[in-house]
């Protein structure tokens, strides 16, 4: 095990980074604004999350994802409408329903496809990106380029939710409290169908789910298993999945991640169910990223 400890340390640090503080995807509006106030009180003026977090309009110009998934920004962002035929945007008070037009079009298509499945009357869309992308005051190490979105694993109700309901409604937890497997009382075949549909959609780079959800998908998938390669285990993600698209064609300053290793990944899950993975010790917080540490084209988007 000693040989693996550096890997575990790196993963534990990534867990702390991914958590990005106490905020969770399902936090209510009051919890979220309290977290934002607490973070703002400690940040230097040129912290990238402070500067990008206060932008309320998109950067003009052609749409462009700039930088990497955890160190980048978005020009020419567009907002996903709060309501569509097959989706509703959740937690609207956060102002994070922005994305590259490629992501918005992708979500509209995925919502329509999911709606054709009997048990998915539509999608509830969680955080996408800020109007100009970039780091966020709360939650999320990534979501910076406008090509990532959180999609709830709670089916859309058959009515339009009010803005207050969207800010408060809890999401279904699909994982057992001990984290070892899905909760069979909550997990449905439609959850697997939705994840399979998303993973098979062109343009997807990775999808992050809780390890227990990946374990269930590995168990339930039949002979057609190629799509499982893109489904990656990660902490949390028990009430939603994280969709990550590849860089849009022509966005030359957008840095793709290396593709996942070959295979369905189902034989590499054991570590995720060890005590150190299930209960990671948080490391010291990383120093806040400064605007000057982002690509120069990102700093230009927030210059006055």
* Number of residues forming the site for Zn ion (CB under 5 A): 2
Name the residue nearer to Zn ion (CB basis): 9 or 94.
94
- 3-state DSSP assignment of residue 300: helix
- Cβ 212 to Zn ion shortest distance, Å: 17
Name the residue nearer to Zn ion (CB basis): 18 or 182.
18
- Cβ 140 to Zn ion shortest distance, Å: 6
Of 128-136, 146-154, 169-177, 255-263, the segment contacting Zn ion by CB under 5 A is 146-154
Name the residue nearer to Zn ion (CB basis): 238 or 242.
242
- Cβ 211 to Zn ion shortest distance, Å: 16
Q: Does 242 bind Zn ion (CB under 5 A)?
A: yes
Of 42-50, 148-156, 162-170, 176-184, the segment contacting Zn ion by CB under 5 A is 148-156
Name the residue nearer to Zn ion (CB basis): 92 or 276.
92
Residue nearest to Zn ion (CB): 242
| DSSP string of 177-231, one letter each residue | TTSSSB-TTT--HHHHHHHHHHHTSTTEEEEEE-HHHHHHHHHH--S--GGGGGE
Query: Do the beta carbons of residue 80 and residue 99 sit within 8 Å?
Result: yes
- Cβ 300 to Zn ion shortest distance, Å: 26
Name the residue nearer to Zn ion (CB basis): 201 or 276.
201
Q: Does 150 bind Zn ion (CB under 5 A)?
A: yes
- Cβ 209 to Zn ion shortest distance, Å: 11
- Cβ 23 to Zn ion shortest distance, Å: 12
Binding mask 183-222 for Zn ion (x = CB under 5 A): ----------------------------------------
Element containing residue 15 per DSSP (H, E): helix 5-19
Tokens standing for 64? 């462009």
Residue found under tokens 């994280």: 242
Sequence-separated (6 or more) residues with CB below 8 Å from residue 13: 283, 286
Q: Does 27 bind Zn ion (CB under 5 A)?
A: no
Element containing residue 244 per DSSP (H, E): strand 240-245
What distance in Å separates the CA atoms of residue 119 and residue 253, rounded to the nearest whole number?
40
What distance in Å separates the CA atoms of residue 153 and residue 188, rounded to the nearest whole number?
10
Query: Do the beta carbons of residue 295 and residue 66 sit within 8 Å?
Result: yes
Q: How many residues comprise the chain?
A: 304
Where on the chain is the footprint of Zn ion (CB under 5 A)? Answer: 150, 242
């Amino acid at each position: 095990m000693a040989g693996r400890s550096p890997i575990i340390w790196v993963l534990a640090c990534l867990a702390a980074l991914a958590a990005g503080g106490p905020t969770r995807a399902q936090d209510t509006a009051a919890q979220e604004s309290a977290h934002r106030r607490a973070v703002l009180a400690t940040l230097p003026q040129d912290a990238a999350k402070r500067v990008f977090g206060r932008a309320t309009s998109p950067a003009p110009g052609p749409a462009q994802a700039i930088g990497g998934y955890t160190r980048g920004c978005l020009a020419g962002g567009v907002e996903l409408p709060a309501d569509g035929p097959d989706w509703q945007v959740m937690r609207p008070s956060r102002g994070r329903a922005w994305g590259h037009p490629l992501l918005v079009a992708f979500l509209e298509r995925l919502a329509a496809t999911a709606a054709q499945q009997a048990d998915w009357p539509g999608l509830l869309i969680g955080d996408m990106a800020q109007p100009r992308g970039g780091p966020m005051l709360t939650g999320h190490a990534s979501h910076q380029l406008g090509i990532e979105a959180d999609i709830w694993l709670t089916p859309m109700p058959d009515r339009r939710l009010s803005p207050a309901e969207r800010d408060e409604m809890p999401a279904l937890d699909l994982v057992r409290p001990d984290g070892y497997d899905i909760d069979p009382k909550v997990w449905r075949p439609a959850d697997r169908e939705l994840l399979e549909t998303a993973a098979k959609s062109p343009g997807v780079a990775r999808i992050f789910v809780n390890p227990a959800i990946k374990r269930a998908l590995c168990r339930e998938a039949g002979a057609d298993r190629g799509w499982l390669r893109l489904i990656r285990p990660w902490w949390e993600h028990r009430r939603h999945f994280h969709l990550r698209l590849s860089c849009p064609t022509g966005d030359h300053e957008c840095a793709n991640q290396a593709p996942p290793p070959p295979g369905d990944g189902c034989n590499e899950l054991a570590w995720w169910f060890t005590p150190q993975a299930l209960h990671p010790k948080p490391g010291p917080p990383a120093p806040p990223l400064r605007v000057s540490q982002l690509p120069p084209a990102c700093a230009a988007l927030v210059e006055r």
